[in-house]
Structure 1
Amino acid sequence: MIQVFENITKSQEDERHYRGLILDNKLQVLLISDPETDKAAAALSVNVGYMSDPNELNGLAHFLEHMLRFGSENPRENEYENFFSEHGGNSYADTSTENTTFYFDVLHQHLTSALDIFSQFFMAPLFTEATIDREVETVNSEYKENFANDSWRFHQLERSLSSKDHPYSKFDIGNKQTLVDDPKKNGINVREELLKFHSTYYSSNIMSLVILGKDSLDELQDTAVKLFGTIENKRVTLLEWPGHPYGPEQLKKKIRVVPVNDLRSLTISFPIPDMRLHYKSGPYRYLIHLIGHESSGSLLSALKKRGWSSHLSAAYNPVARDISFFAVNVDLTEKGLENVDNIVDLIFQYINLLRQEDPKEWIFNEIMEINNISFRFKDKDSPVGYVYILVEDLLKYPIDDVLTAGYVLSEWKPELINQVMEKLTPDNCRIRIVSKNLDSGDSGIVYQTEKWYETKYKIEDIPSELIEKWKNAKPIEELKLPKKNEFIPSSLAILPNDDNPSKYLTIIHETKFVRVWHKKDDEFLLPKSNLIFELTSPFAFLDPLSVNFLHIYVDLVNDALTEYSYDASLASLKFSVLISEYGLKVKIKGLHDKQHILLTKVLDTLINLEVDEKRYKIFKESYERNLQNYAAEEPYVLAKHYQEACLVEKSWLKTELLEATKYLSFDDLKSFIKEFFSKMHIECLIHGNANKAAAQKLIKVIESKFPKNVNPLLPPHLLRCRNMKLEDGSNCVYEVTNEKHKTSCVDVHLQCEPKRTESNMLLELFVQITSEHCFDVLRTKEQLGYIGELTLDRNVTSQGVRILVQSCKHPIYVDHKIEEFLLNMKSYLEEMSDEEFEKHKEALAVLRLEKPKKMKQLTKIFWDEITKQTYCFDRNNIEVDFLKTITKDDVIKFYNEHIHPEGAKRRKLAVHVLSTAKGGAGNAGAEIDEFEPLSVVSKPTRIDDICSFKSGLSSFPLLQPYAHHRPRGSKAKLFILATSVI
């Protein structure tokens, strides 16, 4: 008999409806009815992951996750991905230590059909030999993509250094060796093992399902029972793990690790009891709150004063049942790297301070109050993100509490805090030090090499005298518990609306110096506001040196505000100071009640900061390292960077910025900042729980903080940057090398017509129709690499189709395969049925008209229109109206002109990132796959110098505003024009 749970605790602001079920087959289900949703979503999690892999087949759980999406008895291969492409959705999956989770979103009216296909994964997989052979290559490509990723390398090293007898030590992702070569040697049939693993573990009694849709709860329940109630209950008993993977032999160790990038960090990790059952008291949250605090008297404050670190965090990591860690992570300056033992000593001083003080109920109550406010007024999650979060929680927490378990605290249990504290000791820890300096030639350290990612490391015992010193570390006077949080809001009221409120943004204040756009929220009705303002200065991007100064100054400002603003961030009020395209951008978002207080402090610091030379040197060195590390970024990141450099009228390469760092000086920084603030314009947006009266108070704060002698900018200063226009029939290629990654990359940009309603929608519809087909051909069938995608590529004034492939194959060969795909696309489009074409139009229309789920998403839409100076705040409705008029012949004509290799208006720019690393396609002796060049493709023109290349091109005109207003300084209102949108 089905068990029903109707009283699921939810936020009083949450208008969604919930119901929990335990079906007859013991499948746990959470149903969410949202009558306002445009998208539906679902997720199913199986309580089995890589720790259940057979010892002789590491990566099997992850491989099975891949295989299930490529065919069951219904649908056949690739029909699953095609279905979502045609119906406005996407599908995803991932594998962790003890969970494999599948999830998707789709247009709400197609939810039942999607669930019908989805449910077959768990009952009737095919696992054909052809698909197995091909998908092994995809898994192997994924492994190679991660090979130079330090995060993946560190995680695997932690597993590889755990107890060899514990399943935590397994290689999680798998590769060709573990899934093909080794099984062949051992006479293992991989297909049989896949079927066996699925048959053994894919049982309804260890599964959870979350469905979110527009239908009523009763209708969703009928669908869930019908489609998932027949999954077999094999009465699986979850595997028991043999204790903790870090026992006495693995503790009291110091591990030195050499990263790929120039990183420096210190991590102290402690094995602790699994505290997930104590979610109502959250003992680990109390300790995270205090150890990770950033106010005056905090551990981080002490580290910063000594010049050892700029960032610290504490975290609780429950990796599997009965396996949890508490960790303290510290980034290191050069001086910090020299004082690792002293930093550890300071950390234990603070931990010992917490022992002396005993748990404080007032601190717990403050955490509880903050969390309760955050839960009550949290933004509405997107359907797919929401079901993904909840589906694994459904396997951890009671159904009634599944929504609140990650937020709400209600039980004060100091004894549990002390139980965790007992584990935070020097003889129950491991210390990891990460730095490239550890691999210097004169270090004298002999390193070992981790098997799967070839990470160099050295492990050694921590001397007993050091353990004793840390045990007895007495807290210094400057370490203190935090004070009461003054940013906890006094009022959570929704302010009254203005008379005759506008549907769109209006300008409520304008001078020669500042212009303010405003919209009182009438959709989300939360006590939150978003404030954004951009400081445009002609000195911001004059040259690479100016850019470098601006970056360092932003770091210094954020650093100076850390102690003050940390309490605000805990109370759901956050700020950020960022580099923008034209100067600086300041954001303040969150609960509105004390927003003006934070704004005042942020502006005071931004404008009047007395720069400390010691902190300047720390951030200068950190900034230089980040620029140096850019060369080790993923090839696709580098490719995008050079694409933009070739297409944007004025841009600076990372190599140019790095070269300019040799001219940085402390005195010149101070001169630059003075110059930056001497001449500027401020463009501001206030959106949310702020009526005109509240907005005017914020405006007064802004205007009062800037010096009276600031020179306003003239209209030419505010012109946006343009994009270069490639010549019709052009086929250009720019090649760079990369010695860090084994994979290469090809990034193709096919430039189309500039932004207008017609060209916007033709381009978007073309991408909607062809993106999944591209993925299927280039990644799945051609097996070029793990990353293979066709996307929309929009720049400032231009736009086009972007095709990106990251591959172990040579870029010349990959480029040929891309051209071959584009050539064959002609028949794909011509053979597409009218019904299929209309499905894609419908999917795109619904996607474009989907309502923002969070206020910040709507704020971003408004802000994008403001910064681009286009002011089309109803763009989606206008462009979808035109979309409805597009025919299949229109799309084919667009393809023939802009995409086909012989198109009259085809403009191609390809960036090739060639790997010269060991095993890379550009390494000495590497061969290019043989192919016959396509006769219809012209010989590419090589770009040797980006600046020279751009000097021979014209640029696209700036986009004309959809809304009209008079020059700044007038009292004009904003008028929406009934003309074609750009």
Structure 2
Amino acid sequence: MQLSTNDKRTYLHITLANGLRVLLVNDIECRKSAAAACIQAGHFDDPNHIPGLAHLLEHMLFNGSETYPDADNLDKYLSPHSGSANAWTGTEFSNYHFDVEHSHFVEGLQRFADMLFKPLFTQAAIEKEINAIDAEFKLKIHDDLRRLYQVHKETCNPDHPFSKFSVGNQQTFSTHSLQTIQDALIDLHNRHYIANNMALCIVSNMTLDEQKRCIKEVFSAFPSGDEFKRPNLPPLYLPEQLGVKININPIKDARRLIVSFALPDMQLYNESKPLEFISHLLGDEGNGSLLNHYKRLNWATNLSAGGGINGNGFKDFNVNLQLTKFGEDNISGILNSLFYYIKLIAEQGLEKWRVKEKAILGKLAFEHIENAKPLDDATQFSNLMFHYKETEILSGDYLITDYSFHPIKACLLLMSPENMRMKLISKDLQTDKITRWYETPYAIEPIDQQLLTALASPSVVDDLHLPLPNPYITESCTLESINQEYLLPSKILHDQNLQVWFAQDAQFNQPKGDCFISFDCEAVTQGIKVSAYKRLWVALMVEHLNDQFYHAGVAGLHYHLYAHQGGFSIHTNGFSHNQLELSLNILKQVMADVDLQPLFEQVKQKQLKNLQNSLLNKPINRLFARLSGLIQRFTYAPLELLPIIESATIEDIYWLKAELFKNYSVEAFVFGNWTTEQSIQFAKRLNEMPKPRLSMPQIKREVVDLKNAIHYENQVSSQHPDSAVVLYLQTPSAETKDVALTILVEQLLASPFFHEIRNEKQIGYLVGSGYLPLNQHPGMVFYAQSPNFSAKQILLEIKHFLFEITSSIDDYQEVWSHVRTSVSKQLEGSDTNLTAKAQKFWLAIGNQDLEFNLQKAIADALFALTFDDIKNFCQKLIAPADVGTLVLFCCGDKNEVDDIPAQGTVINDLTAFKQHATYVV
């Protein structure tokens, strides 16, 4: 097996006697152990008369097995031990995965195996899960991606399994008896859920020998079956479904053009990756690129190339454009430019240096890959075992080993007008059809033959040319020596308005790093107008920077400019070579007087569209956005920002920029593969930048103090039919003990809340809870979204749960210490990768945790708690004088104006509420 030179893990690939293929991964540094099983079975294998059966089968596996008959037994076992389990069903594969503390992994595996091979399929559970799937279906009815996907299904070959309705709902299942569905589930399971049709991956701190013994003990007894080979499928598209234009009306305000080319299975080209080469050129954003050309003509604001559905025998290659109104009226010009650029690639782009450049980028990404979470790696590797040889499971997605041009030419030949499907998405389009399941208006018609003929010989576009060699690519990635004095952040410069911190990484041994430069600007205290203009200014600067530094990102030098409550930040990360120079160059551009007029109208319209569309988000998303805007002093809801941005002028943006740079302070942090000398030199150059008129301290990140009221409530308007509730409970203080109690109690309640509200009460598909610190002030949330229950009913059920579990908290006396140990291990566990470690240090600097031991302090506080502390804290959750309570709700199509009884303070005016609120840090 080909390994990265920086990969510290060890691997073993084995095949059990029953045909089960297993990849064992020993990672002595991983926080938790994880397992994932990939099965060659998906919705393509649904019987034609029961669409959605494979999806239902996925749900059923979590509803009890022969040895562990209780529903949700796996989740109930895992959750007290920092564990979780989940699954997905795709077109041709399904994947089941879980993680848990190392000490509970073996029993977790036993339960996992029993779940996979010996499910019960009781009719009572089938009926319950059909309701859950129906709620999931209803949740997605107003999701534009799902609605677009259904149009795709209804405009392809009806004999191809992709055309099937894959989700299932009450309607598809109710036409059959429970006995019929039960028999079909058993048959589908017996045919596909067999050892030799499965790939398993384990990531654990157990030695490979220990893992091998464990896997043999747990999985060897399960049966093989008849080897499954997917039959040859018919063509994905019929001849009349190519060379077509498909008009689609979205729900959100969107203008998009998706040009798709129908290609064969790309598995044959794993070693050459021709589509990655082509998308690398089509998706370029530098001078001479397609996107640059489209922006200049005001035709499009964004372009991505690649992606598209793929499977056994088929592959779509997509060019996806976000259009302007002017672009929507100039589709033929957009297409001419696209096909001219494809012609440029075919005639001028097949040069060895270009292929080598792409191969170098792949090799650098592979050699310096940072490990993901064990659960993510196990899930990915188990899936890759079906697509790559044993030796290529780790490297196959990255390395180009075949430099020949033939695969690229073969793909480019298929990127022809006749082989194109053009999807135009806009509310303004004429349609004459409605999809069956998601009621999406659409129309399909052949593209005019005259246009197809013209596109076959596209007109010359003078300002289009292929990119030059990338100046940011380097193959010399050396590691600097470690200075033990700088393993924790230390201040290397302290000036009137500038503080610079530095630390080295001695854990990951990567030639990478992160650099943060954050501005706190006094102007943000002026209120919402500054916040709205700042959002627009940052968006304009991102567009401006992209023209100059796009190729840095391609080469692994990533940069981000983003707004925050106190001002804005620049964050660069990736390879350390040249990164500090990049940070300084970006800073110079940000501080310079830049002409943003040419970009203004296009960027403003894009921001307006984003804000308007956010009002159409799922109710739960709307409620969480409102929560942030209500509680945090200098954060505002999209509804408040919209009218200000709508009336903004370029003069307002120039005014804003001047205000930001009047009075400010800067804090910077350099972390990773740099020497002390390099970092000090960087700090000196930062200090040479223009100074503000006045220096000022960091802006306080304050939150509204919700205590001393019965509760606050705020109704959020929504155009989605579902109702939803978010109950936010604000912890009395930000003291370490209260933080520890909030984290622990939320973890203790999370699993029973999900089980009660989603599985037992069946309120809806979107149900959950979470620890939610706003500006580091602790709190927790309980939320649910429902297609059937009113907001009032949802809130009553949430409150009933809290009351009942508080009354019966003694039942958790045995399990709470396990949860405490689990949470403590998470807090004190090692960082998963270099950027995660950088973010942790940066957060500590911002919170003035200058001993960098807050997580340890919380862990220590956890072990100082008694069960009486837990009981007393739980009592506070239902005692509003002690815990601040905010109820946010959407009524959906229930439209009950008095849905939530006004028991406390009703917030009608967001601005007035925040102006008169009391704040705490």
Q: TM-score range by the shorter chain?
A: over 0.9
Q: In the alignment, is residue 538 of structure 1 matched against residue 522 of structure 2?
A: yes
Q: What is the match of residue 978 of structure 1? A: none
Letter in 1 for 2:866: T
Deviation of the 1:768 alpha carbon: 1.3
Aligned-partner SS, 1:794: coil
Q: State the alpha-carbon separation in 1 of the partners of residues 192 and 279 from structure 2.
A: 35
Q: In the alignment, is residue 631 of structure 1 matched against residue 615 of structure 2?
A: yes
Cα distance change, pair 725–543 in 1 and its aligned pair in 2 (3 A): closer
Q: In the alignment, is residue 772 of structure 1 matched against residue 751 of structure 2?
A: yes
Q: State the alpha-carbon separation in 2 of the partners of residues 60 and 105 from structure 1.
A: 26
1:40-189 correspondence runs (5 A): 40-75=33-68, 76-179=70-173, 181-184=174-177, 189=180
Deviation of the 1:923 alpha carbon: 7.5
Q: What is the match of residue 711 of structure 1? A: 693
Q: State the alpha-carbon separation in 1 of the partners of residues 62 and 51 from structure 2.
A: 20
Cα distance change, pair 839–68 in 1 and its aligned pair in 2 (3 A): same
Q: In the alignment, is residue 210 of structure 1 matched against residue 204 of structure 2?
A: no
Q: State the alpha-carbon separation in 2 of the partners of residues 660 and 29 from structure 1.
A: 57
Q: What is the match of residue 563 of structure 1? A: 547
Letter in 1 for 2:480: L
Letter in 2 for 1:713: S
Greater Cα shift, 51-60 or 315-324? 315-324
Q: What is the match of residue 295 of structure 2? A: 304
Aligned-partner SS, 2:462: coil
Q: In the alignment, is residue 910 of structure 1 matched against residue 887 of structure 2?
A: yes
Q: In the alignment, is residue 921 of structure 1 matched against residue 921 of structure 2?
A: no
Aligned-partner SS, 2:812: coil
Deviations 1:213-265 (A, max 9, x none): 11111111111122122222112323324233122121111111111111111
TM-score (norm 2): 0.97
Deviation of the 1:749 alpha carbon: 1.0
Q: What is the match of residue 713 of structure 2? A: 733
Q: What is the match of residue 26 of structure 2? A: 33
Deviations 1:132-168 (A, max 9, x none): 1111111111111111111121122211221111110
Deviations 1:944-982 (A, max 9, x none): 3334445564332x3xxxxxxxxxxxxxxxxxxxxxxxx
Aligned-partner SS, 2:526: coil
- Confirm or deny: 8 A CA contact 2:516 2:571 kept in the other structure: yes
Deviation of the 1:548 alpha carbon: 2.7
Deviation of the 1:303 alpha carbon: 1.3
Q: What is the match of residue 863 of structure 1? A: 842
- Which of 852, 856, 869 is the equivalent residue of 1:873? 852
Q: In the alignment, is residue 580 of structure 1 matched against residue 559 of structure 2?
A: no
Q: Any unmatched runs of 5+ in structure 2?
A: none
Q: What is the match of residue 359 of structure 1? A: 350
Deviations 1:661-691 (A, max 9, x none): 2431122322322332232211111111112
Q: State the alpha-carbon separation in 2 of the partners of residues 437 and 871 from structure 1.
A: 56
Q: State the alpha-carbon separation in 1 of the partners of residues 772 and 123 from structure 2.
A: 37
Greater Cα shift, 649-658 or 683-692? 649-658
Q: What is the match of residue 893 of structure 1? A: 872
Q: State the alpha-carbon separation in 2 of the partners of residues 949 and 325 from structure 1.
A: 51
Q: In the alignment, is residue 554 of structure 1 matched against residue 573 of structure 2?
A: no
- Which of 648, 666, 672 is the equivalent residue of 1:682? 666
Q: In the alignment, is residue 349 of structure 1 matched against residue 340 of structure 2?
A: yes
1:467-616 correspondence runs (5 A): 467-489=452-474, 491-498=476-483, 500-540=484-524, 542-616=526-600
Deviations 1:504-555 (A, max 9, x none): 2111101112111111111111111100111111224623332232222222
1:779-928 correspondence runs (5 A): 779-796=758-775, 798-808=777-787, 809-834=789-814, 836-896=815-875, 898-900=876-878, 902=879, 905-915=882-892, 920-922=893-895
- Confirm or deny: 8 A CA contact 1:50 1:95 kept in the other structure: yes
Q: In the alignment, is residue 450 of structure 1 matched against residue 423 of structure 2?
A: no
- Confirm or deny: 8 A CA contact 1:50 1:60 kept in the other structure: yes
Deviation of the 1:940 alpha carbon: 4.4
Aligned-partner SS, 1:831: helix
Deviations 1:336-388 (A, max 9, x none): 11111210110000011122226222111111111111111111211011111
- Confirm or deny: 8 A CA contact 2:722 2:786 kept in the other structure: yes
Deviations 1:239-297 (A, max 9, x none): 32423312212111111111111111111001112112321111111111111112222
Deviation of the 1:569 alpha carbon: 1.3
Aligned-partner SS, 2:362: helix
- Confirm or deny: 8 A CA contact 2:265 2:310 kept in the other structure: no
Identity across matched positions, percent: 25
- Which of 356, 368, 371 is the equivalent residue of 2:359? 368
Cα distance change, pair 551–646 in 1 and its aligned pair in 2 (3 A): closer
Deviations 1:619-663 (A, max 9, x none): 111111111111101111111122233323344332221111243
Letter in 1 for 2:695: L
Deviation of the 1:904 alpha carbon: 5.6
Letter in 2 for 1:599: S
Aligned-partner SS, 1:29: strand
Q: State the alpha-carbon separation in 1 of the partners of residues 731 and 662 from structure 2.
A: 40
TM-score (norm 1): 0.91
- Which of 702, 709, 726 is the equivalent residue of 1:722? 702
Deviation of the 1:70 alpha carbon: 1.8
Letter in 2 for 1:675: E
- Confirm or deny: 8 A CA contact 2:524 2:634 kept in the other structure: no
Q: State the alpha-carbon separation in 1 of the partners of residues 325 and 665 from structure 2.
A: 38
Deviations 1:468-521 (A, max 9, x none): 0000114423222211111112531111223x5144211110111211111111
Deviations 1:189-227 (A, max 9, x none): 212211111112112222110001111111111111221
Q: State the alpha-carbon separation in 1 of the partners of residues 642 and 750 from structure 2.
A: 36
Deviation of the 1:609 alpha carbon: 4.9
Deviation of the 1:807 alpha carbon: 1.0
Q: State the alpha-carbon separation in 2 of the partners of residues 448 and 938 from structure 1.
A: 45
Q: State the alpha-carbon separation in 1 of the partners of residues 39 and 487 from structure 2.
A: 46
- Confirm or deny: 8 A CA contact 2:710 2:881 kept in the other structure: no
Q: State the alpha-carbon separation in 2 of the partners of residues 430 and 619 from structure 1.
A: 29
Deviation of the 1:731 alpha carbon: 2.5
Q: State the alpha-carbon separation in 1 of the partners of residues 66 and 355 from structure 2.
A: 53
Deviations 1:874-896 (A, max 9, x none): 12222212211222221011111
Deviations 1:388-420 (A, max 9, x none): 111110011111110000101111121111111
- Confirm or deny: 8 A CA contact 1:144 1:742 kept in the other structure: no
Greater Cα shift, 544-553 or 622-631? 544-553
Q: Any unmatched runs of 5+ in structure 1?
A: 1-7, 439-444, 959-982
Letter in 2 for 1:922: N
- Which of 230, 250, 253 is the equivalent residue of 1:239? 230
Cα distance change, pair 754–274 in 1 and its aligned pair in 2 (3 A): same
Deviation of the 1:832 alpha carbon: 2.4
Aligned-partner SS, 2:454: helix
Aligned-partner SS, 2:485: coil
Q: State the alpha-carbon separation in 2 of the partners of residues 138 and 611 from structure 1.
A: 54
Aligned-partner SS, 2:571: strand
Q: What is the match of residue 964 of structure 1? A: none
| Aligned CA-pair RMSD | 2.0
Q: State the alpha-carbon separation in 2 of the partners of residues 354 and 360 from structure 1.
A: 10
**Residues paired across the two proteins, number:** 919
Letter in 2 for 1:798: H
Aligned-partner SS, 1:539: helix
Letter in 2 for 1:875: L
Aligned-partner SS, 1:72: coil
Greater Cα shift, 283-292 or 399-408? 283-292
Letter in 2 for 1:899: L
